[in-house]
Amino acid sequence: MRDINERLNYLIQTVPAKAGQYSEQEFSARKDGGWSKKEIMGHLCDSASNNCHRLIRIQFEKQPFVIVPYDQNNWVLMQDYHGMPLDEIISLWTVLNKHILRVISKIPDEKLGYVCDLGDNKSCTLLEWVQDYLGHLEHHLKQIFGISEL
């Protein structure tokens, strides 16, 4: 978990400065009908928000904890990340991920093996869920910044 905490802390420190190197227009551009970089950052805010609740509930509710998906496209659309100023999205992302970092740093080792039911006869442990959260975050940050390593 220490590696995960260190990596997330590094991203929290690095991403705002990297985003500051882009113009509002660059972050707002859409390609091939997909999300703009602002919308991808908004999606990462939604992911942090949803996963914060999950990371807490997995530890205290009936096992296995059932992961309920959310409609990512409608969340991005309804929150109008495309129309939000970039600095607000980056601030929101930063605060949410600082909070996620705080939550995951408090997970006791004995709870890391708790089971999450993903549906379709698939499951993972709480540790795997945390690892997946970081992997998902890194995947989208690489999309945004177009680099293989952040």
Low pLDDT (below 70) residues in the chain: 148-150
* Spatial CB neighbours of 75, under 8 Å, sequence gap ≥ 6: 43, 46
Do 51 and 90 touch, CB atoms closer than 8 A? no
DSSP SS3 for 124: strand
* CA pair distance 61, 40, nearest whole angstrom: 31
Are 91 and 38 in contact, with CB atoms under 8 Å apart? no
CATH classification number, 2-19+38-145, choose in 1.20.120.450, 2.60.120.460, 3.40.50.1100, 3.30.470.10: 1.20.120.450
Spans of all domains in the chain:
2-19+38-145
Specify the pLDDT at position 148: 63
Question: How high is the pLDDT of residue 33?
Answer: 84
- Rounded CA-CA distance 147/58 in Å is 33
Model confidence pLDDT, tens digit, residues 26-51? 999 998 889 999 999 999 999 999 99
Q: Are strands 115-119 and 122-125 parallel, antiparallel or unpaired?
A: antiparallel
E strand or H helix that includes residue 144: helix 126-145
